[in-house]
Structure 1
């Protein structure tokens, strides 16, 4: 009897992990895999690549808007229904993109796809619902590692799909994957994970509660700064490798594969550290590696000519730091309001989205040396995050001392 229950629980955990990893993969497809198809899309719609880039910006705006609503709503009506609806809407949007020859309709279908993809924010809430303790932390490490690997592989996958299926290929593959996730979620998930029935459907109050907590916002900012270091490199990497170093698209894809390997190493290191040190110490260790990466990048900028190695070596260090710090900070933030996991995930994802977008845009628009700018960014963001982590720890000790003193007095 116990063996049967244990087998069932193990099977359920494997099912949850595969569902979450599939959601991570789907989050990469609508953006990164489509990049190699920009010229073909511009030719099909008789527009320019910059016009096609507008669809990426519109997609990001659509996801940001959708997730602000989906997270708090899932706390009240459950995750399953919203995930199924989001998958269905995203599939309709993707299929619509493949069938239109009008650029305006293409943008409308991309926006529809983005609104459906807003349900991916539920992955963090599902981790909070379905797992506990160290298992939850290890799964977040796995998800961050998988995200980096998928992003690194996506340009090569996009190039292959463009060569074999044309620009519609990425939309067809996305639809197939979304259908698989929809079916798996239909049979695997239930709607038992929701907040207390008396919780009112009031988005503003839910957000005011979580965003008014210094510790919650602080940990999400640490996670956002760590993510921004990785995301900034992804954004400007074509400028460095293809524009400045004149590498081909295929060579660029291979370089990103090497970068993806750093996520595997970082994920292994993060998993080992999670068993030996606290999450706060993991944050310090990860941020320290990002700081080291910035200093190494600045050193190489001053003493060596620009080459793939001078960019990749510090980025490998940075990636390891991101993989260690970000899951730990996310777990600390999500653990503060477990009864409002959907709202927490939406608020945190929005903070990450805003920080990553703004910081990467500032770096890409920098008129000076991109490599040096990236190095200064790593140093500045890691120092701010370390100071923020120290401030959170000090504040927690003060509150704990006050609580103990009050208990003793009583």
Structure 2
């Protein structure tokens, strides 16, 4: 455990794991459960499905903006209060989405919901606070794997909710789940914060300190580019399967259920690799799979007609690579500044969501060539990430002064 931090009790650890997985669920639920409702939302608000897809990207950017403030504040005033406040705001945003009949106001309340959901970035800081060493990496692998499982199940749940309660059903369920997580946070979480060091740190100074480190941002960019590959597919998947291939919402949800199986496989492989190779080599392995998936997407797009198989097979490979890459790169980044875990988590998660939101928005603007666009994006993003990882490794092998601590 980091110096000055009390070790977590067994009850704390069990409660923390349960809370963290609940936070992971709420982090992906507002995005993925709504995918089967794209046609209904487009009809209700008299907008195109591409506009609805862009609203998902906007949601991701809203989360990123919120995280910029939440993480550093949690290093000063503690995690618990901010988590409770964020969950409350997200619930209010969801209520607003249910009540409005205007698309502009719907977007506004989605942004409010996203601002509240930014509090779930504290899951990374809580891992840093309550766990140590290999436990942290194992828990992050579990969280990424659980995220994939939730992602795969959410569209199927969304199909059921759409059939029974309409598009509003996903917001009602989100409010109920958020209420449960609010209660769990009250019961299991202490108001953890760093040991007092004298002067209260300035938010800009906190960000400046972590961002000046030569390895911090590259590690998070690697994680962000891997996430952007997955997130881009999630955002445009309704356009591919429901618009271009004319699949039903149920068939679409079954395809994503298969897609989520890659997270389970990736999590198992990541756990195995963690016992035998360094985080740097884990990153290389995962990024190589993403690069391979991009090449496969281009090959299949040029030689075969668009079908669920030609899209799904490369994406299974990509998702396994994402599951291997992200826990290793984010753990390496978070280990650099354990005393500023909130700031580190916010900086990294903001970069991750901005990359995911902007890249997915750009891809969704070229609906006629989505498969090829995905392939080119995967190749570019994985190549840049591999170059960043190579740069980090070269710096590690060369003599250099340790980063200054201010």
TM-score (norm. length: structure 2): 0.90
Partner of 1:34: 34
Partner of 1:268: 268
Partner of 1:76: 76
Aligned CA distance change for structure 1 residues 396 and 29 (closer, same or farther; 3 Å): same
Partner of 2:88: 88
| Aligned counterparts, 1:98-177, within 5 A | 98-101=98-101, 105-177=105-177
Larger Rg: 1
Partner deviation per Cα, 1:286-319 (whole Å, 9 max, x = no partner): 1111122222223323333322212211111111
Tell whether the 8 Å contact from 2:220 to 2:330 is kept in structure 1 after alignment: yes
What CA distance in whole angstroms lies between the structure 2 residues aligned with 1:280 and 1:57?
Answer: 30
What CA distance in whole angstroms lies between the structure 2 residues aligned with 1:353 and 1:320?
Answer: 19
Residue segments in structure 2 that go unaligned for 5+ positions in a row: 1-7
Pair 1:181-2:185 in alignment? no
Aligned CA distance change for structure 1 residues 185 and 199 (closer, same or farther; 3 Å): farther
Tell whether the 8 Å contact from 1:75 to 1:195 is kept in structure 2 after alignment: no
Tell whether the 8 Å contact from 2:266 to 2:319 is kept in structure 1 after alignment: yes
The alpha-carbon deviation at position 100 of structure 1 amounts to 4.3
Pair 1:291-2:291 in alignment? yes
Tell whether the 8 Å contact from 2:57 to 2:360 is kept in structure 1 after alignment: no
Aligned CA distance change for structure 1 residues 64 and 397 (closer, same or farther; 3 Å): same
Which deviates more, 23-32 or 8-17? Answer: 8-17
What is the aligned-residue RMSD (CA, Å)?
Answer: 2.3
Partner of 2:5: none
Partner of 2:232: 232
The alpha-carbon deviation at position 266 of structure 1 amounts to 0.5
Partner of 1:200: 200
Partner of 1:313: 313
What CA distance in whole angstroms lies between the structure 2 residues aligned with 1:393 and 1:130?
Answer: 29
Pair 1:394-2:394 in alignment? yes
Which deviates more, 323-332 or 388-397? Answer: 388-397
Aligned CA distance change for structure 1 residues 244 and 25 (closer, same or farther; 3 Å): same
Partner of 1:243: 243
Tell whether the 8 Å contact from 1:90 to 1:117 is kept in structure 2 after alignment: yes
What CA distance in whole angstroms lies between the structure 2 residues aligned with 1:195 and 1:265?
Answer: 39
What CA distance in whole angstroms lies between the structure 1 residues aligned with 2:54 and 2:320?
Answer: 32
* Higher relative contact order (Cα pairs below 8 Å, separated by 6+ residues): 2
Partner deviation per Cα, 1:320-355 (whole Å, 9 max, x = no partner): 111101110000001101111111111111111122
Tell whether the 8 Å contact from 1:76 to 1:195 is kept in structure 2 after alignment: no
Residue segments in structure 1 that go unaligned for 5+ positions in a row: 1-7, 404-410
| Aligned counterparts, 1:362-401, within 5 A | 362-366=362-366, 369-399=369-399
What CA distance in whole angstroms lies between the structure 2 residues aligned with 1:266 and 1:10?
Answer: 28
Partner of 1:322: 322
Partner of 1:407: none
The alpha-carbon deviation at position 53 of structure 1 amounts to 5.7
What CA distance in whole angstroms lies between the structure 2 residues aligned with 1:47 and 1:185?
Answer: 38
Which deviates more, 243-252 or 76-85? Answer: 243-252
1:276 match: secondary structure = coil
Partner deviation per Cα, 1:65-95 (whole Å, 9 max, x = no partner): 2111101000000101100111122222223
2:298 match: secondary structure = helix
What CA distance in whole angstroms lies between the structure 2 residues aligned with 1:390 and 1:94?
Answer: 43
What CA distance in whole angstroms lies between the structure 2 residues aligned with 1:288 and 1:100?
Answer: 45
Tell whether the 8 Å contact from 1:153 to 1:257 is kept in structure 2 after alignment: yes
What CA distance in whole angstroms lies between the structure 1 residues aligned with 2:78 and 2:11?
Answer: 22
TM-score (norm. length: structure 1): 0.89
